[in-house]
Amino acid sequence: MERQEALTIVKKQLTEHRYQHTIGVMETAIELAKRYGADVKKAELAAIFHDYAKFRPKEEMKQIILEQNMPKDLLSYNTELWHAPVGAYLVKTEVGISDEEILNAIRYHTSGRANMTVLEKVVYLADYIEPGRIFPGVEEVRDLAKQDLNKALIRAVQNTIQFLLKKNQLIYPDTIHTYNSLIMEIKGEWEK
């Protein structure tokens, strides 16, 4: 699928503000994919569709989670997590993208997971650091992203966990697994 076709499809699902965010994620994902050796076309498509389900009704997302045998524990956590796995499902069924690498990059762009692929890391980080994002700590992560993908991701996940802790919110287990996996990956690199 070509960029313009994908953008036309996704624009119908998003607010103008979220569409501009999506453009920023797409451009950032392309840049990160080139820098870190991910498939640029897959990064582009995953970034374009990463928020495809963002504005679906909560009840619809809940039904999809239940009917498609997605992890039921998702329903116990913040509804902000739901649009990622539901989006992967809808991108496959409504848009017709069946590439599991692209779908996984969409599926895990909010929570992360242990042993993320480079493509998954690129989309997760692009969503976090795209130019329209303005919040404490984002500049540090942008700087790290120019040097080391894993270190940038660790800082992004640390910031997310700290934010959730300050708000007394639950932390989804995959986010903790993401952090632990990245730390082990970096330790493995240091020990070589």
Tell me the pLDDT tens digit for each residue of 117-174.
999 999 999 999 999 999 999 999 999 999 999 999 999 999 999 999 999 999 999 9
Domain residue extents for the chain: 3-135
- Using CA atoms, how far residue 149 sits from 29, 38, 43, 88, 112, in Å, is 12, 11, 15, 23, 14
Of the CATH numbers 3.20.20.70, 1.10.10.10, 1.10.3210.10, 1.10.599.10, which one belongs to the domain with range 3-135? 1.10.3210.10
Cβ atoms of residues 65 and 82 within 8 Å: yes
The pair of structure tokens assigned to 143 is 């700087």
> Given a cut of 90, is residue 187 above it in pLDDT?
no
Tell me the C-alpha distance between 35 and 132, whole Å.
21
Look at the pTM and tell me if it is higher than 0.85: yes
Tell me the C-alpha distance between 91 and 50, whole Å.
9
Task: Report the amino acid identity of residue 127.
Answer: D
Distance separating the N- and C-terminal Cα atoms of the chain: 40
pLDDT tens digits, residue range 96-106? Answer: 999 999 999 99
User: What length is written for the chain?
Assistant: 192
